[in-house]
Amino acid sequence: MRIISGKHKGRRINAPRGLPVRPTTDMAKEALFNILNNNYYFEDLVVLDLFSGTGNISFEFASRGSSEIVAVDKDYRCIKFISKMAEELGFSISAIKSDVFKFIEKINLNFDIIFVDPPYSFTIDDCSRIASIVFQRQLLNENGVLIIEHSKHTDLSALENFKYMKKYGGSVFSFLEPNKAME
């Protein structure tokens, strides 16, 4: 995997073999960040990366100037790798070993972007549960977005806060936003 843009543009990062991960492809990641680049100023973002795996998405945010990033994964080796690479690259990423569901049910922070990249075996119900917790607990800032990466065989368009999706090869990014109160 490589960092697409920012301070460490073009930098290759080689994760150790045997990690239980499926990193977002460079093509899909580049497309996602092109969308985000048109809507956000990266230096101002507070980011939560759930099921962070190799830290691929966290590293991209950090390279583009985001300095408040929390990466959560239940695998100790993933967290160890993210922490090691963050230190090596000079990134401010808090890597936390935790079950994602338990983490989002307890955390008392707000984020501009919550990126979720669960195993592709996750069901619509699993993704719905994550979205429900995020929106019920109001974990997103007013103009925040929840982005769930999933298989092209999963359709999240029926979720309450769903706004749109973008497909890139076998990957799909579904964008969900807080419902704005009627004025």
Nearest to 152 by CA among 134, 141, 137, 167: 167
Per-residue pLDDT tens digits for 73-113: 999 999 999 999 999 999 999 999 999 999 999 999 999 99
What number is the average pLDDT over the span 149-175? Answer: 91
Helix axes 26-37, 56-63, angle to 10 degrees: 40
In this model, does residue 137 exceed pLDDT 90?
yes
- pTM value is 0.92
Residues 6+ apart with CB under 8 A from 121: none
Nearest to 152 by CA among 164, 165, 170, 166: 170
Q: Which fold has domain 43-176?
A: Rossmann fold (3.40.50)
Q: How high is the mean pLDDT of the chain? A: 90
Least confident of 1-5, 95-99, 174-178: 1-5
In this model, does residue 181 exceed pLDDT 70?
no
Query: Do the beta carbons of residue 149 and residue 24 sit within 8 Å?
Result: yes
Neighbours of 30 (CB within 10 A): 15
What does the domain layout of the chain look like in residue ranges? 43-176
What's the length of the chain? 183
CA angle 101, 86, 68 (to 5 degrees): 60
Distance CA 138, CA 29 (A): 26
Q: Look at residue 182 in the predicted model and tell me its pLDDT.
A: 39
